[in-house]
């Protein structure tokens, strides 16, 4: 990796033309040369429509190779803003307005409320029609606008994503080409990726994990990506065989679903060629990590990332480097420190807020001076996560500042309760959260999913926890569910869960 590309398009153009770039079920392989040509066609179509550097283009496409190349093609000419195709009308109205979108890209013939919203707002709609190769498409762009030949440079925005907005209005995060290339390089270096590696992508391509943790990192290394049409536990093992992947990256709930079907796919497990498995975007229970390594016969690398860092901040290492269950690893790209509430950097084994700075970190939220004043301090971005370093520099996340349960003044990390529940042999998934309490302010609650064919009840789980946790940490309510509500990317979400489960009244 001696080249120093300025933009994502430069990075792709520098790859050997005939090497495989993208693959997908029932599509031909797209080479890097064909990917470059597709990006150039998309950029030219946008330019002809008057769209250039600094303009935002919303992308509403199903997961798959066309979503990948649409993102890359838009980023070559403007700022790509991939949106979750599952949004409802009101959500699309908010996001298209907040983005000040100059165009909306959808699949030809698509039935999405985004189209009606765009028409109402006078936003041009650009339709793509897939071709035979994975990610190749034609773009039907209205004509009549004044051409805009201004293409972005390294400091221009390549990607616009919103924060989750679980506790406040979603904030808009602009990520530059420099941010993306830096983070992709960090991930490729951490995972020792090269041109022989192929990733099976099951992550949404409207989320930083899939866009950078898989797609951009693979391109940075000159490797290839097998683009699934979206995660499906019933099809995962067939895709693993078809892709001949050397790795995949996912959130813990996906890993757990894969484990649940492992016994039905022994033939695939005996022949798969995974070099490693990556986990990110939420905490991976230690037991799940051990089961993954035993089942797939390869190391599991847990990383820690967030949108404002263009994904990766820390990571465990591949052998012979160290990895620790329950830890998110060592600094893997940006500088990572801990900070006190009053803004002082901490040392030793103190618990503090994780702060970062580096080339992969956003320069600030878009048009949000108040949020920037809170989120940045002396050049450091405050992540909102509480963490602790051990003597070897491995970081353990103790929880989100906003997720810490304040039970009458006792501060409780929900992750500690998660881990204790996951130690029960009947528990497959667990998430602890705060529920309102008239006198204490907040009380501890938890939701669990049981393993197939295993049973237990709330009292038995509370008794189990009472032997492992102080009384004030034992949940006063444990709800046993068939499935825990998740966010759009498959992450378990604590904030708002009490309301969703009817425990907030």
- CATH code for position 461: 3.30.300.30
- With bands split at pLDDT 50, 70 and 90, how would you rate the model's confidence at 499? confident
- Of the listed ranges 26-35, 143-152, 440-449, the least confidently predicted one is 143-152
Query: Do 264 and 289 share a structural domain?
Result: yes
Residue 290 covered by a domain:
yes
Query: Do 230 and 310 share a structural domain?
Result: yes
- pLDDT recorded at residue 489: 64
- pLDDT recorded at residue 161: 96
| Beta-bridge partners for 411 | 406
Q: What is the DSSP string of 68-83?
A: HHHHHHHHTTSEEEE-
* Long-range pairs for 382-386: beta carbons < 8 A, 24 or more residues apart: 382/339, 382/353, 382/355, 383/306, 383/308, 383/309, 383/313, 383/353, 383/354, 383/355, 383/356, 384/353, 385/353, 385/354, 386/351, 386/352, 386/353, 386/354, 386/413
Residue 21 covered by a domain:
no
Checking if the pLDDT of 2 tops 60, the result is no
Give me the CATH number covering residue 330: 3.40.50.12780
Q: Which domain holds residue 196?
A: 180-400
In the block, which residue shows the tokens 């420099």? Answer: 178
Among 368, 400, 432, identify where a domain stops: 400
Mean pLDDT, the chain, integer: 92
| Beta-bridge partners for 99 | none
Checking if the pLDDT of 439 tops 90, the result is no
- pLDDT recorded at residue 437: 85
Q: What is the pLDDT of residues 235-253, one digit of tens each?
A: 999 999 999 999 999 998 8
Q: Give the number of residues written for the chain.
A: 505
Residues of the chain with pLDDT > 90, as a percent, come to 77
The secondary structure of residue 307, as a DSSP letter, is: G
This prediction has a pTM of 0.86
- pLDDT recorded at residue 10: 95
Average pLDDT of the segment spanning 358-372: 95
Checking if the pLDDT of 166 tops 60, the result is no
Q: What is the pLDDT of residues 43-78, one digit of tens each?
A: 999 999 999 999 999 999 999 999 999 999 999 999
Among 176, 198, 222, identify where a domain stops: 176
Q: Is 289 helix (H, G, I), strand (E, B) or coil?
A: helix
Q: Which CA distances in Å does 342 have to 36, 138, 347, 365?
A: 49, 54, 15, 22
Name the domain count of the chain.
3
Cα four-point dihedral sign 116, 121, 126, 130: negative
Residues of the chain with pLDDT > 70, as a percent, come to 96
Which of the two residues, 493 and 341, has the higher pLDDT score? 341
Query: Do 166 and 228 share a structural domain?
Result: no
Q: Which CA distances in Å does 166 have to 117, 309, 365, 417?
A: 23, 19, 17, 21
Among 176, 210, 242, identify where a domain stops: 176
Residue 357 covered by a domain:
yes
Which residue from 273, 101, 269, 270 is spatially nearest to 199, judged by alpha carbons? 273
Q: Tell me if 160 sits within 8 A of 139, measured CB to CB.
A: no
Residue 12 covered by a domain:
no
Q: What is the pLDDT of residues 298-339, one digit of tens each?
A: 999 999 999 999 999 999 999 999 999 999 999 999 999 999
- pLDDT recorded at residue 179: 98
């Amino acid at each position: 990796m001696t080249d120093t590309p300025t933009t994502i398009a430069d990075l792709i153009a520098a790859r050997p033309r005939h090497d495989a770039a993208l693959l997908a079920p029932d599509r031909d392989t797209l080479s890097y040369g064909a990917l470059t040509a597709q990006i150039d066609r998309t950029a030219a179509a946008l330019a002809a429509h008057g769209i250039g550097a600094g303009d935002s283009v919303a992308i509403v496409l199903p997961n798959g190779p066309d979503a990948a190349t649409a993102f890359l093609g838009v980023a070559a000419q403007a700022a790509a803003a991939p949106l979750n195709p599952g949004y409802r009308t009101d959500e699309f109205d908010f996001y298209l307005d907040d983005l000040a979108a100059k165009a909306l890209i959808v699949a030809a013939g698509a039935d999405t409320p985004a189209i009606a919203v765009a028409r109402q707002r006078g936003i041009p709609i650009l339709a793509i029609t897939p071709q035979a190769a994975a990610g190749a498409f034609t773009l039907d762009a209205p004509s009549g606008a004044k051409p805009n030949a201004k293409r972005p440079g390294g400091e221009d925005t390549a990607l616009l994503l919103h924060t989750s907005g679980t506790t406040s209005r979603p904030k808009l995060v602009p990520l530059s080409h420099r941010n993306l290339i830096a983070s992709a390089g960090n991930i490729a270096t951490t995972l020792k990726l090269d041109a022989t590696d192929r990733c099976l992508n099951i992550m949404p391509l409207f989320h930083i994990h899939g866009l950078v943790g898989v797609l951009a990192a693979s391109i940075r290394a000159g490797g290839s990506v097998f683009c699934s049409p979206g995660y499906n536990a019933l099809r995962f093992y067939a895709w693993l065989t078809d892709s001949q992947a050397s790795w995949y990256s996912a959130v813990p709930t996906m890993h757990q679903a894969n484990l649940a079907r492992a016994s039905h796919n022994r033939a695939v497990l005996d022949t798969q060629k995974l070099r490693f498995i990556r986990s990110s975007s939420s905490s991976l229970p230690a037991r799940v990590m051990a089961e993954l390594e035993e089942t797939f016969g390869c190391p599991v690398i847990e990383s820690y990332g967030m949108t404002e860092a263009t994904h990766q901040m820390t990571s465990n290492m591949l052998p012979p480097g160290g990895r620790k269950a329950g830890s998110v690893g060592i600094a893997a790209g940006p500088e990572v420190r801990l900070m006190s509430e009053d803004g002082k950097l901490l040392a030793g084994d103190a618990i503090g807020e994780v702060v970062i700075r580096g080339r992969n970190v956003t320069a600030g939220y878009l048009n949000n001076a108040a949020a920037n004043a809170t989120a940045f301090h002396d050049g450091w971005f405050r992540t909102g996560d509480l963490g602790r370093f051990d003597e070897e520099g491995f970081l353990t996340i103790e929880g989100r500042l906003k997720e810490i349960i304040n039970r009458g003044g006792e501060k409780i990390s929900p992750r500690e309760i998660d881990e204790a529940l996951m130690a029960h042999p009947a528990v497959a998934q667990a998430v602890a959260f705060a529920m309102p309490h008239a006198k204490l302010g907040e009380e501890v609650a938890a939701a669990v999913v049981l393993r197939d064919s295993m049973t237990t009840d709330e009292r038995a789980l509370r008794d189990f926890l009472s032997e492992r946790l102080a009384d004030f940490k034992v949940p006063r309510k444990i709800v046993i569910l068939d499935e825990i509500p998740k966010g759009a990317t498959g992450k378990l979400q604590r904030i708002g869960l009490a309301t969703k489960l009817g425990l907030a009244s």
